[in-house]
Amino acid sequence: MNDRKKPKKEADYYIGVGLCFGVAFGALYDNIGLGIALGLVFGVAWQQNAKKKISKKQELPPKNN
C-alpha cells in the first residue's frame, strides 16, 4: 500500500500554469502581450478557486446539541 501523501501545490503553481498557457495562446495568435495578460488573469482566478475549495473542505460541520 502506498502511504505517501499527495504533495500540496504552492500558490504560485496556478499562476505559472496560467502564464504558460497564456504565452502559448499569445504565440499562436501572434500577440504575446495579450496572451500573458490573459494567462495571468486566468491563473489568478484558478488559484482563488482552488483556495476556496480547500477552505470549504477544512471547515468543520456545525455541532448538533
Write the pLDDT tens digit of every residue in 15-63: 999 999 999 999 999 999 999 999 999 999 999 988 887 777 776 566 6
Whether 60 is in a domain gets the answer no
| 11 vs 60, more confident | 11
Whether 37 is in a domain gets the answer yes
Whether 17 is in a domain gets the answer yes
Q: Give the pLDDT confidence score for residue 11 in this predicted structure.
A: 65
Question: What is residue 36's DSSP assignment?
Answer: H
18 Cβ neighbours under 8 A, 6+ residues apart: 39, 40, 41, 42, 43, 44, 46
The CA-to-CA distance between both ends of the chain, in Å, stands at 39
Q: Give the pLDDT confidence score for residue 41 in this predicted structure.
A: 95
User: Which residue type sits at 31?
Assistant: N
The total domain count for the chain is 1
pLDDT at 10 over 80: no
How much is the average pLDDT of 4-19? 79
User: Do 17 and 39 form a contact (C-beta atoms < 8 A)?
Assistant: no
- Structural domain including 50 reads 11-54
Whether 44 is in a domain gets the answer yes
